[in-house]
Amino acid sequence: MAVTFSVLRPYRPVLAPAVILLAAVLGLAAGPALPASLAGLKTLGPGIVLLLGTGIGAWFNRGRAFIALASLLAAFIGYSLALEYGVDSFAARAVFTASAIFVPLNFLLALVFPERGISHHFNYRWFMLAVVETVFVTWIASAGHSNLSGTVWRDLLEHWLLRSPPTPILGRSVFAVAFVAAAIRAWPKVPVSETRPLDIGLVAALVAFFTACEWADKPGAFAGFMTAAGTILLVSLLQESHRLAFRDELTGLPSRRALEERLHGLGPVHAIAMLDVDHFKKFNDTHGHDIGDQVLRLVAARLAQATGGGTAYRYGGEEFCILFPEARLADTRPHLEKLCADIAAYQMAVRRDDRPKDQEAGTKLRSLRSPEKTLSVTVSIGIAEPQDARATPAEVLRAADRALYRAKEGGRNRVSS
């Protein structure tokens, strides 16, 4: 079972959006499942989900999610109001066309600009964009109903680029560009732990919205896939919040908070290893904090690949912890000794000042030229297991910490128990 979870772990950010999209498809295929007494949920459901997601996006100060959810909410409300004039009315067609263009366009703009939260130093560009789009769409949709709007929009909406439904050609084009931009951002990172659930959620939400537009003439499809889009982004926001709380940003390993949560679930048979980078303070003072961060990432990458079924965590500073559930100390020690030797043997190429920030470009450049210098580090490891049935994981962790100090006193670059 543990092997299954470890295999699925890299795909967890994708699973929730995939399940939600599948549920929307199955719900549409099942036909009119809601009784007449609950028919209002087809209208209220998407609105509630999108409104809740928009509020949480603002509360968490996640700019991209907020823009995406607010755009979807405005599109849903606007189209629902326009439908009161009839499905084939000019108002409904105008709002539908505008939504099919502006929603993916807003996604694209949110992806292009850096993430700076909802507002940035009194910069209200997103608010102004929302006002402009709302006023513009209202002006077009009221063509023939207001002296200000005139009737020219009726002819313009028949242009082949804007004719709908299904999604107009211009809307499909904007969607394609937005989808590519979102997919590039969501492409699996190395390590996989750096892949953000919200990036994947934006891709899936775009797919759900596009499906809602393409199947808008099918009963319940627009509301169902708008609900799916909102739910995907809402779940992604919660996953992102969990990731930020339980994942160390520098190393990509689970954080100390995640470790403390995991300790409560350990059984009577387990082993805990504490690991410390040798002479890290002196190393940091000599080479600088940037090189020190590289060392921590290097060690973390090696720990993440450790054999023996252990899970690595960043404990704090230059300290790490590895949990071996359902394992004995004698079984885990050979794996830790191999890990210790592998780290000591690895020659770390120090980043040049002109090395590209992009990881792939930096890797290609590094293969073409030799580094200015290489460095190596060693680690000391202490390991412990419960000495009796009453020993708690917290006591075992303290015992591993004491074993770590014995490894340092014994000369470092070794495993002690």
CATH of the domain at 261: 3.30.70.270
Helices (H) and strands (E) in the chain, counts: 16, 7
- Are both 89 and 222 inside the same structural domain? yes
pLDDT at residue 43 above 80?
A: no
Per the model's pLDDT, the better-predicted residue between 197 and 8 turns out to be: 197
Same domain, 112 and 221: yes
User: Is residue 58 included in any domain, yes or no?
Assistant: yes
Is 213 in a helix, a strand, or coil?
helix
Do 157 and 92 contact (CB within 8 A), yes or no?
Answer: no
Looking at 216, 244, 272, which one is the last position of a domain? 244
Mean pLDDT of the residues in the chain: 81
Q: Are residues 371 and 232 in the same domain?
A: no
Q: Residue 282 has what pLDDT?
A: 81
Do 28 and 152 lie in one domain? The reply is yes
pLDDT over threshold 60, residue 18: yes
Residues 161 and 53 in one domain: yes
Q: Do 240 and 263 belong to one domain?
A: no
How would residue 399 be classed by pLDDT, with cut points 50, 70 and 90? very high
Q: What does the pLDDT look like over 267-312, one tens digit per residue?
A: 888 999 999 998 888 877 777 888 888 888 888 988 988 888 899 9
Q: Which residues contact 268 (CB under 8 A, 6 or more apart)?
A: 386, 389
- Number of folded domains in the chain? 2
pLDDT above 50: residue 2: no
The per-residue pLDDT for 40 is 54
Distance of CA 162 to the CA centre of its chain: 34
Taking only the tens place, the pLDDT of each residue in 342-364 is 888 887 776 655 555 555 555 55
**C-alpha of 173 from chain center:** 26
Q: What is the pLDDT of residue 367?
A: 54
181: pLDDT strictly greater than 90: yes
Q: Is the pLDDT of residue 154 over 80?
A: no
pLDDT at 202 over 90: yes
| Domain contains 251 | no
User: CA 82, CA 84: separation in Å to the nearest integer?
Assistant: 5
Distance of CA 207 to the CA centre of its chain: 17
Same-domain check for residues 189 and 279? no
Residue 42 and residue 223: Cα distance in Å, rounded?
6
Same domain for 176 and 234, yes or no, is: yes
Question: How confident is the model over 63-101, as pLDDT tens digits?
Answer: 889 999 999 999 999 898 888 888 888 888 888 998 999
- Do 200 and 72 lie in one domain? The reply is yes
Strand order in the sheet with 311-316: 311-316, 319-325, 270-277, 379-384, 415-416
Residue 131, in any domain of the structure: yes
Residue 128 shares a structural domain with residue 217 = yes
* Domain around 349: 256-416
Residues of the chain with pLDDT > 90, as a percent, come to: 30
Residue 370 lies in a domain: yes
In this structure, the answer to whether residues 172 and 311 fall within a common structural domain is no
Give the model's pLDDT for residue 279: 85
Neighbouring-strand partners of residue 274: 321, 382
Interval 31-47 mean pLDDT? 63
User: Does residue 144 sit within a domain?
Assistant: yes
Distances (CA, A) of 68 to 37, 48, 92, 379, 390: 31, 15, 22, 45, 52
Q: Strand ranges (DSSP E) for 75-202?
A: none
- pLDDT tens-digit readout, 406-416: 998 888 898 98
Q: Is the pLDDT of residue 191 over 50?
A: no
Residue 2 lies in a domain: no
Whether the pLDDT of residue 262 is over 60: the answer is yes
pLDDT at 170: 93
- Cα pseudo-dihedral 391, 396, 399, 403, rounded to 10: 140
Question: Of 59-63, 125-129, 255-259, 317-321, which range is least confident?
Answer: 125-129
Q: Of the candidates 185, 213, 244, which is a domain's last residue?
A: 244
Q: 244, 264, 286 — which closes off a domain? A: 244
Which range (47-56, 108-117, 146-155, 164-173) has the least confidence? 146-155
Two tokens at 29? Answer: 């295929």
Q: For the packed helices 256-263 and 221-246, what is the interaxial angle rounded to 10 degrees?
A: 90
Q: What is the rounded CA–CA span in Å between residue 385 and residue 37?
A: 60
Is residue 5 a part of any domain in this protein? no
Tell me if 6 is assigned to some domain.
no
Q: What pLDDT score was predicted for residue 371?
A: 54
State the DSSP H helix or E strand holding residue 315, giving kind and residue range, or none if neither: strand 311-316
Measured between alpha carbons, how far is 71 from 134 in angstroms, rounded to an integer? 10
Q: Strand locations in 87-175, DSSP E?
A: none
> 33-47, 167-181, 236-250: which has the minimum mean pLDDT?
33-47
Q: Which of 5, 193, 163 has its CA nearest to residue 94?
A: 163
- Does residue 413 sit in helix, strand or coil? coil
Residues 143 and 265 in one domain: no
Distance between CA atoms of 363 and 42, rounded to whole angstroms? 50
